[in-house]
Amino acid sequence: MRIGYVRVSTEQQHTERQQVILNEMDVDKMFVDRCSGKNMNRPQLQEMLSFSRAGDVIVVESISRFARSTRDLLHLIDVLTKKDVQFISKKESLDTSTPSGRFMLTVFGALAELERDQLRQRQLEGISIAKNNGAYHGRKRMVNSEFDRIYAEWIEGRITATQAMKKLSWSKSTFYRRVKERKISDEKIN
């Protein structure tokens, strides 16, 4: 059986391009993840690994859709090899059924990881330059006009912190950062 694996990083991104490519490669079944590839805790990836059997072929559009680090890539390929499952990446023209394909897989995996690390480095350099020029101020602050009211309810013990976070649609770190800012502000007033 030819099994396709598709991954996009967010719910807003589209999978059609990858799906068309895999359908052209005659996949019988497709697994689609809509989450970051930074680790292997992806539901459809895990389901696909469990589903695959000896003799199957896993087909992906590119290595970067399958794994984001060389270590993860080599681990996944090792899992597939132990199950006697082949791996094909369309973009890199890789096929693990051949010795040269297995070698090139390692090389391309290392290059993909290098590219990702360089992108992250360029991004940090760009942010640093923008900060020095006064053009970068971080992400926009999450604003909720209900904070004062909900904060008061929480301080008075009428709701829990978890309930306050849910009402505000804020993460735990955002909520407690705002609470800390509010307490500092209140101390300055008093």
Confidence of residue 117 (pLDDT cuts 50, 70, 90): confident
CATH of the domain at 66: 3.40.50.1390
For CA atoms 160, 166, 172, 177, the dihedral sign is: negative
Set 9, 62, 64, 100: catalytic member? 9
Which of the pair, 39 or 2, is modelled with greater confidence?
A: 2
Instruction: Please tell me the distance from the alpha carbon of residue 18 to that of residue 30, in angstroms, as a whole number.
Output: 11
Query: HSE of 166 in the Cβ direction (CA atoms, 13 Å)?
Result: 5
Residue 17 sits in the same domain as residue 105: yes
Domain range for 181 is: 147-189
What pTM did the predictor assign?
0.58
In a domain? residue 142? no
Residue 95 sits in the same domain as residue 15: yes
Which of the pair, 99 or 32, is modelled with greater confidence?
A: 32
Residue 29 sits in the same domain as residue 110: yes
**Mapping DSSP to helix (H, G, I), strand (E, B) and coil, where does residue 5 land?**
strand
9 is catalytic: yes
Residue 76 sits in the same domain as residue 14: yes
Instruction: Please tell me the distance from the alpha carbon of residue 21 to that of residue 31, in angstroms, as a whole number.
Output: 14
In a domain? residue 83? yes
Residue 168 sits in the same domain as residue 102: no
Residue 103 sits in the same domain as residue 152: no
**Mapping DSSP to helix (H, G, I), strand (E, B) and coil, where does residue 15 land?**
coil
Query: What does each C-alpha distance from 78 to 71, 83, 159, 168 come to in angstroms?
Result: 10, 9, 50, 45
Residue 97 has pLDDT above 70, yes or no: yes
